[in-house]
């Protein structure tokens, strides 16, 4: 089977994976699709405020917003921003974005109850 020519261009990669015979390893081109996201170009309006921020600050703001909206995990957002997880947590704190979820609070309360501390 030729992985590059069998299947149509608009066929989802997941459908191609379903056709891979069990005795074959996932082809490298499909492995890249699932584990290495391609860079994305975003065009921003030419505004003085944005130009003065610089790319690192814009990436950090974008990552914080994506995390706050629930689109990315903390680690993924830190990766997008190009900073360490600790630096990302500090950026969240500076922006007053909570990194503590309701699920984590419920789990902590349950643990305290189980220990008889609450």
Cα–Cα distance between 104 and 112 in angstroms, integer?
Answer: 12
Cα–Cα distance between 16 and 12 in angstroms, integer?
Answer: 7
Cα–Cα distance between 59 and 45 in angstroms, integer?
Answer: 15
- Largest Cα–Cα separation, the chain: 63
For residues 64 and 95, is the Cβ–Cβ distance under 8 A?
yes
| pLDDT tens-place string over residues 31-63 | 444 455 667 788 888 888 888 888 899 999 999
pTM (two decimals): 0.58
Complete DSSP assignment for 39-95: P--------HHHHHH-HHHHHHHHHHHHHHTTSS-HHHHHHHHTS-HHHHHHHHHHT
Cα–Cα distance between 82 and 8 in angstroms, integer?
Answer: 35
Report residues of the chain scoring pLDDT below 50: 1-11, 13-14, 16-17, 20, 30-34
């Amino acid at each position: 089977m030729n992985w590059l020519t069998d299947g149509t261009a608009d066929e989802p990669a997941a459908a191609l994976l379903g056709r891979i015979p069990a005795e074959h390893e996932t082809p490298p081109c499909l492995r890249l699709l699932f584990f290495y996201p391609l860079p994305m170009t975003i065009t921003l309006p030419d505004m003085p405020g944005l130009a003065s921020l610089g790319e690192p600050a814009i990436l950090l703001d974008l990552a914080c917003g994506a995390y706050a909206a629930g689109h990315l995990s903390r680690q993924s957002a830190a990766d997008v921003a190009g900073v360490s997880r600790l630096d990302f947590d500090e950026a969240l704190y500076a922006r007053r974005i909570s990194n503590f979820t309701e699920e984590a609070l419920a789990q902590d309360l349950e643990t305290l109850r189980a220990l008889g501390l609450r």
